[in-house]
Structure formats: structure tokens, C-alpha cells
Amino acid sequence: MKFLDETKVYIRSGDGGAGSVSFRREKFIEFGGPDGGDGGRGGDVWVEAVNGLNTLIDFRYQQHFKAKTGQHGMGRNRTGANGGDVTLKVPVGTQIFEEDNETLIVDIVREGQRFRLAAGGNGGFGNAHFKSSTNQAPNWANPGLEGEEKTIWLRLKLIADVGLVGLPNAGKSTFLATCTRARPKIANYPFTTLHPNLGVATVDGREFVLADIPGLIEGAHEGVGIGDRFLGHVERTRVLLHLVSAQEENVGKAYKTVKHELEAYGGGLVEKPEIVALSQIDVLDDSELKKKAAALKRASGKTPLLLSAVTGKGMTEALRALRDVVAGDGNSETDIPERPYKKRKHEGLAEDDDQ
């Protein structure tokens, strides 16, 4: 199934039904008069978070949503039926924006949450509504009010506890596949991961959700490579696991490259707790491993975890460190404040169409 995390849709609530102009005229019955009923209310447009969705792909095939019009009123004081509502079913973590794609309407953060995006028009009053002692035979009725129409943007930000970041081929997908039942694509070439993947990890009886996003390279905030459009999916995480491959010649530079891209993106990512790990250590001998671990510690200001997802070495320790931060009781070395880096000047984010 193709991954889609941003789309534009058109919505329109239903018009209200018109009131009826009718008079009661029955043989042998006294005191006839107006008996026109009111029109029914137009349908509303709702958005609701449902379980089992992790993409907005359904909105690629349907972009227009229109609620039903209320029925017109009828004689004998019969009120028209209300128009049927329309509900947009979205994944948890979806944000709804106005047409300018900047003004937030609502942030859907829990399953079952509902929000009315457009209210249906009220039905018009029939002539029976206007009868009085001084106006016993009104011959007019109100038309129904028009519904609302607007164009909105849906933007998905996946909800996870841990975000995996790093350069391409840093071992993020292998880490996810090893500790969860997720099966992301794994291959020995850059940008194997083209869209975010989610998995549920378990350690010592506690579960938490991990999000793996495509790798970042230098200039990603300017659209280089896949860009940084998928960083929004780790904005909601509690902690970032920054993986640096032991195969990098300069692990310090690799770490700083990703940190610069996180800082350029913004969104509070550099303020999040971060755990640094040197991955793929099975390819190094002991002396080379010590050198690269020391270089990564100097660059990050933290003592890195050493792990290999292929052999399983250090995986349990990494998961426990993540669990402690997610649970809010982490007091490990990984909580050492990071070194500040000078923010690089950059232009606005590159606009990408859905892939």
C-alpha cells in the first residue's frame, strides 16, 4: 500500500430544506389554517480518528465530500428529514489545516476523537410557524440556509514513542526489524526506506512504538535527497535514537550532519531527549571500535551505546535505555546535555508532492 501523509480535499455540508406553504382544508372540519412543516437540517461533515489506518491513501481516490441536503417541509405539519452526515475517517495523528495549509483547525490525537468540520444549514420554517392571532393565514415560508464549503489540508504525523534518525544506511531499518515485527525493506544502498515505518518493541514486559524515517543527508532541509518532509513523523516522539554507522570514516561528521538538519527543520526536535548509538559494530575490530566510539563521544557530548542489530549485541541495553526515557525515569549517561551547534542559514522548506 502506498504511503501518503498529506492531501487536499474539498468538503461541503448539506443545505437546509425549505419550509412548506400549506393550508389545511378538510371537509366538515372547522378552523382550517396553515399547516406547512419546517424543512430538515442539512448534513454535517465530520472527521474521526479510527483504528487500523496509518496513511491517507484513501483520500487519493476521493477528494470531494458532500453531505446530504435536508428534505423540504410538507403539509399536515410534517417536518422534512435531516440530511445525512459525511465522516472523513483518518489515522490517529492527523492534523486538519485551512486552505492556506498553515492555520490549524484540529489535531486528532486519540482514537475515536471526532470534530465537526462544516455544519449543515438549518431548515426553513414552514408557514405554520408564522401564524398568529393577527396573521391567521400566512402564505410564505423560509428557504433553508446554505451549508458551508471549504477546501482543507490533511497532514499526517505518526504517533510513536521513539524516533529513529540518522544518515542513509545507518542501520535504522535493521534495528526496527530486529526488535519489532515490522518488516521494512533492507538493502545495501542509500534511501532503501522511502516512507516511515512503525513497529512495537517489547523489553522487560513493557511496550513502546518506534518510528523509522528515511535517512537524512546534508542539505536535506533544502530538498536534497528525499528532503526532510518525513521529519514531521518524529515530532510527537518522546525520545530520538540517533544511529551512526560504524562504517562511516568520520563518525563525528556523520553525527553533526544529521544534527544540523534536525536544527534546520525546527519543530522542537533538537530539544528532545536523544540517545546516541554506534551501530553495525560487528564490522570493526576492538581497537577501531574504541577509536570511533571516542570520536562519536567527542562530537555528541554523550557516551554512545554500542550495538549491532545483526548479532544482537547491545540491543537489549538500547531498548532499556529507550524504555527508561519513554517511561520518564531515565537517569542514564545518555541524558548529558548536547553541545550547542551554530544554526546554519537556510531558505524555506522545499515543497514536495505526495510520493
What is the C-alpha separation between 13 and 6, in angstroms, rounded? 22
Q: Is 157 annotated as a binding residue?
A: no
Q: Is 133 annotated as a binding residue?
A: no
Q: Is 188 annotated as a binding residue?
A: no
Q: Is 215 annotated as a binding residue?
A: yes
Q: Is 191 annotated as a binding residue?
A: yes
Nearest residue to 170 (alpha-carbon basis) of 13, 283, 260, 7 = 283
Q: Is 304 annotated as a binding residue?
A: no
Q: Which amino acid is at 35?
A: D
Q: Is 280 annotated as a binding residue?
A: yes
Q: Is 214 annotated as a binding residue?
A: yes
Q: Is 172 annotated as a binding residue?
A: yes
322 in Cβ contact with 238 (< 8 Å): no
Q: Is 195 annotated as a binding residue?
A: yes
Q: Is 152 annotated as a binding residue?
A: no
Tell me the C-alpha to C-alpha distance, in Å, between residue 294 and each of 17, 254, 306: 74, 14, 11
Helix, strand, coil percentages for the chain (3-state, nearest 5): 20, 20, 55
Kindly give the pairing relationship between strand 197-203 and strand 206-212: antiparallel
Q: Is 337 annotated as a binding residue?
A: no
Q: Is 177 annotated as a binding residue?
A: no
Q: Is 167 annotated as a binding residue?
A: yes
Q: Is 105 annotated as a binding residue?
A: no
Q: 227: phi > 0 → left, psi -120 to 50 → alpha, else beta; which? A: left
Q: Is 291 annotated as a binding residue?
A: no
Q: Is 281 annotated as a binding residue?
A: yes
Q: Is 302 annotated as a binding residue?
A: no
Annotated binding-site residues for Mg(2+) read: 173, 193
Annotated binding-site residues read: 166-173, 191-195, 212-215, 279-282, 308-310
Annotated binding-site residues for GTP read: 166-173, 191-195, 212-215, 279-282, 308-310
